[in-house]
Structure 1
């Protein structure tokens, strides 16, 4: 917790970005009064809107959006939210992200115009790496809320707030980077020094150092992932019933705070 707090305070004290920084072609720091122009950063997570008009990204503890063609970026969250990993809803009206305001990561949503900031989860557990389902009705995420010492994949129903266990990691392993595909949930399974990309119940990587980031489904039916320091494509085989069931059919129901319910 101290590390997160110190990082947040460092960025706030530095005043690196305030108001509307400029990004993209023709960005000029002098055009933003009382602001610092920013043209690049490190460890940035970016997400393109489904309508192809906007890019959301995290920078200096905040979520921003900028036109896909470049221009003035709009800041959607404040200094204290410590927000990262934005993901668009299918209708491009809402963003979900993880935020570390109280020492744990929790899921939040905000409208694309910066209104309606809403916290979705709360508990002494982490809730992170959110991804909207294709129908926009639920969110998949990674969490240690099972209190078993590792991370599993869960889904949150936005209408009811109910949480279900989608995939439980094997003993000694943790699951990260969930994403929805037509063949089931994709995620990265890490056990010791071994990291594998899994779709449903099928391992689609072999002897590679798969990074713990969510894979993307391509129109041609392949997965785009990162491994061994490169961007790679994978073509999963058609999966069976077990894989489809792992995509979020309830196995355990619980509340957003982490408590189980019947």
Structure 2
């Protein structure tokens, strides 16, 4: 995809021509796209906090992502061709990995308790849903999970369901 490392794939454009990913360049964690024909990176964020988890809207106009630019990790979006980012969540949680529904009206995302830094595994988390333009989020499920619960696109094509990974603690004490 790119020779610039490290890079972490998260989504692709609806027309299948571009990938969205986050990458670390000069110690900054930012959002990039790359055209599959020209293979040139297009940088969409510029070092304002840590930027991660990009996913395209189904119309290809927006890229949703999570960023710590406001302090706590929150959900943002940026025009897919570049421009100013706008904040979507203003929650008391650390919000990660937004995924727009196939019709574009809602996004689901993972929320950690506010004292949790980063997106570790083996934590209590919530999967929440809200309108794609923002507003109040509803908790769909609380579970034990974290890293890997829903890092990549996960909606069914018809938008009636989505996939996620739930962890089960294992007692290894004998």
Q: TM-score, normalised by structure 2?
A: 0.76
Structure number with greater Rg is 1
Moved segments of 4+, more than 4 Å: none
Which structure 2 segments of 5+ residues have no match? Answer: 116-122
Q: 1:177 aligns with which of 142, 150, 157?
A: 150
Identify the structure with the greater strand proportion: 2
CA distance in 2, matches of 1:73, 1:137: 28
- Aligned partner (choices 11, 20, 32) of residue 56 of structure 1: 20
Q: Quote the residue 2:119 is aligned against.
A: none
Q: CA separation in 2, counterparts of 1:127 and 1:115?
A: 22
**Structure 1 residues 45 and 160: CA distance shift in structure 2, 3 A:** closer
CA displacement 1:163-199 (0-9 Å, x = unmatched): 1112232xxx2362172225522111123259xxxxx
Aligned to 1:89: 57
Q: CA RMSD in A?
A: 2.6
In the TM superposition, residue 43 of structure 1 has moved relative to its aligned partner by 5.4
Aligned partner of 1:129 in structure 2 is 97
Q: Does 1:190 align with 2:167?
A: yes
Structure 1 residues 160 and 87: CA distance shift in structure 2, 3 A: closer
Higher relative contact order (CA 8 A, sep 6+): 2
Alignment check: 8 A CA contact 1:45 1:84 kept: no
Q: For residues 125 and 69 of structure 1, what CA distance do their matches in structure 2 show?
A: 39
Q: Distance in 1 between matches of 2:161 and 2:87?
A: 27
More helix by share: 1
Contact conserved, 1:146 with 1:152, CA < 8 A, in 2?
A: no
Question: Helix, strand or coil: the match of 2:48?
Answer: helix
In structure 1, how many angstroms separate the alpha carbons of the residues matched to 2:10 and 2:38?
14
Residue from 71, 90, 101 that aligns with 2:69? 101
Match of 2:8 among 44, 48, 57: 44
- Residues of 1 paired with 2:168 and 2:94: CA distance? 19
Give the aligned length: 154
State how 1:153-172 maps to structure 2 within 5 Å: 153-159=127-133, 161-169=135-143
Q: TM-score, normalised to structure 1's length?
A: 0.52
Q: What SS does the corresponding residue of 1:92 show, helix, strand or coil?
A: coil
